[in-house]
Amino acid sequence: MVEGTVEREVCEDRTADRRAFFGDLHVHTGFSLDASTMGTRTHPADAYRFAQGERVGIQPFDANGRPMRSIQLERPIDFAAVTDHAELLGETRICNTPGMTGYDSIICRIYRAWPRVAYYWMNLQAARGIRHDFCGDDGGICREAARTPWQENREAAEAAYDRSAACRFTTFHGYEWTGGAGLGNNFHRNVIFANDVVPDLPTSFIETPDLVQFWGRLDRECRSAEGECDVLVIPHNSNLSAGRMFRTKTEDDLSIGRTEVERRNAFEPLVEIMQHKGESECSLGLGTRDELCRFEKLSTNSFGARSVPGSSAEPLPRQFVRNILKEGLRIEARLGTNPFAFGFIASTDTHLGAPGLAQESSSYPGHGGAGKPPGDKLVRGFPDHIDFNPGGLAGVWAEENSRRSLFAGMKRKETFGTSGPRIQVRLFGGWGYPETMCQSDRFARAGYDGGVPMGSTLPPRPGQDDPSTPPASRAPNFAVSAMRDAGTTLSPGTPLQRIQIIKGWLEDGKLKERVYDVAGNARSGAGVDLDTCRTWGTGFDSLCDVWSDPDFDAREPAFYYARVVENPTCRWSQQLCIANHIRCNDLDDVPEGFEPCCDENHTRTIQERAWTSPIWYTPPS
């Protein structure tokens, strides 16, 4: 079988009903400016070795260049993509390569002497679309310098991709287009290619600062070009975008038009709902009264606001994915196309070159990237900002672990995201699933045969134009199934608490939402001892239900997605405090570096979770 330009063997382990594969599509190495100013020295090949279970050394490094820390996954992941920033890729190489034009420039000398100063200065220039003087009048010197790390990234992805029949590990070529505006208001995108047919160089925000132009360039250089190039674009962590990630109006305050809507719909099937800088599903009080929307929240609305002491830039409703899904229904009613019909994934956004390092643990090293620089020696205390987290994982339902199969799963949005655990969750929607479906050993086959999987739009309701159809049969029903993470010997998985269905809809021009508990038990009494992290209470190894919308109105467009919630456990920060025997009775006795343990705002417990991609309902025209 040919995949891209290269032959590969047919996978031995293939199932038509598809399996869940876990990976990370947001990974930075030392080729990214921000990672390098944090002391990261990993290369793409190191990242792919780590993803497959090998131990990798990380900063800080001693005088002989030996890493003073090392990290290793308890379980390898199935797939990964290194997505180093396209912006400043060449500049970072120049500042690290003696003899290259620009190596002795003022900014490169600052980069080597005071890397955090260079981090802010160089990123500010890039956000303004400005190249440094040593790049030449047209920026050609720096674009040419980017060719070497881009080629090394491509070679690492090809070398690590298992093309044997075992299909153990899949890599994707990719990069990050790091769009930004104002004071760190991000509208960053990860760009993932289907195979080894990719553009000659990654396209950066400096060359294409307009998102519509960026999609157009991807179309010219990939989809419309000769060969088998295909690509998708994934918006990430909208919780720090100050509302710019998903615009509904142009700079002239006009509603976005059909061209932008259709192009976004074509290029952006997925959105990153969770990563180490916070969760972007929803936020209590910002368009919702859902109590579980308190999960992994940051107090500011942008990267820049975190860097300004005393900033009061509070989060905005349009930063959160659920609100944007609802807004998509309104735009579809106006233009006939929904630009925000996103499927969900999660990833880490690691800046250590550590894909899949998403486990809550007292040994969590921090992921860097606008985080705390480690310095040149090991320091006791928190390795990352206390409100950051280890990130999440992307889940894809696919026939096999190959680029062709996984990429197809991403394009059709049969995906889910988790906050770190390997929870397996499926959602199907239809008009007549039997209530006994959960007792069948052919649950998935019945889901496909009787309806559509997550990421899809419900087909027309049978008999929808027949007034004699009984009202009870007029509502869609949804089959949802979840299995807990089995865990490992060292880290057993946590029982599930419940499954919820989240519905958003448009009623008489107003956007609404409702959360339904459909399986499990929110009042099981499960809890966690904050002094030991010992857990108690009952839970579930698996949950399943066939649920029908009791509030369905065939005239109202809607979406439905499932959220699976585990029993409470200790957050990584609390595990670290306990491991270091921190007691908050007397604050004078708290060792330096561990003061956050005793902060009244410290969130000590967590309910890990997974989110399925939505299923949409569109009324008859």
Mind spelling out the 3-state secondary structure of 1-13?
A: CEECCEECCCCCC
Q: Cα–Cα distance between 539 and 156 in angstroms, integer?
A: 42
Q: For strands 79-82 and 19-27, give the pairing.
A: parallel
| Amino acid in position 164 | S
Spacing of C-alpha 171 from chain mean position: 16
How far apart (Å, rounded) are the C-alpha atoms in residues 516 and 142? 53
CA–CA gap between residue 564 and residue 292 (Å, rounded): 11
Cα diameter, the chain: 81
Res 242: pLDDT: 86
Contact 278, 240 (CB under 8 A): yes
Of 147, 174, 187, 181, whose CA–CA distance to 29 is shortest? 174
Whether residue 486 is predicted with pLDDT greater than 70 in this model: the reply is yes
Inform me whether the pLDDT recorded for 438 exceeds 70: yes
Give the pLDDT of residue 166: 98
Q: What are phi and psi of 500, to 5 degrees?
A: -120, 150
Instruction: Tally DSSP H helices, then E strands, for the chain.
Output: 14, 31
Domain residue extents for the chain: 2-86+146-418, 424-617
Average pLDDT of the segment spanning 132-139: 92
The mean of the pLDDT values for the chain is: 93
CB distance 598 to 557 below 8 Å = no
- For residues 81 and 190, the answer to whether their CB atoms sit within 8 Å is yes
- Given this model, what pLDDT does residue 428 score? 98
Whether the CA torsion 322, 323, 324, 326 is positive or negative: it is positive
In the chain, % of residues over pLDDT 90: 82
Question: Is residue 566 within 8 Å of 608, Cβ to Cβ?
Answer: yes
DSSP state of 613: P
The model scores a pTM over 0.85 = yes
Give φ, ψ of 296 to 5 degrees. Answer: 45, 60
* Residues 6 or more apart whose Cβ sits within 8 Å of residue 232: 191, 192, 267, 268, 269, 270, 407, 410, 411
Identify whether 60 is preceded by a cis peptide bond (ω within 30 of 0).
yes
Please tell me whether residue 113 adopts helix, strand or coil conformation: helix
3-class DSSP assignment, residue 509: coil
Q: Which residues pair with 417 in a beta bridge?
A: 394, 611
- The answer to whether residue 388 scores a pLDDT higher than 90 is yes
Name the nearest CA neighbour of 163 among 30, 307, 12.
12
Which ranges constitute the DSSP H helices of 271-320?
303-307
286 burial via Cβ count (<10 Å: 0-12, 13-18, 19+): middle
For the stretch 573-599, pLDDT in tens is 999 999 999 999 888 889 999 999 999
d(CA 22, CA 404): 16
Average pLDDT score over residue span 329-335:
93
Task: Determine the Cα–Cα distance for residues 496 and 503; give it in Å rounded to an integer.
Answer: 21
Of residues 462 and 271, which shows the higher confidence score?
271
Written as six digits, the tokens of 301 are: 């609305």
| Residue 168, token pair as written in the block | 């153990």
Q: pLDDT at residue 381 above 80?
A: yes
Alpha-carbon span 236 to 234, nearest angstrom: 6
Beta strand ranges found along 148-220 (DSSP E): 170-172, 174-177, 180-181, 185-186, 189-193
Q: What is the domain class of 2-86+146-418 according to CATH?
A: alpha beta
When pLDDT is averaged across residues 332-342 and rounded to a whole number, the result is 94
User: Which position has the higher pLDDT, 571 or 241?
Assistant: 571
* pLDDT score recorded for residue 468: 58
Q: Mean pLDDT over residues 120-141, rounded? A: 89
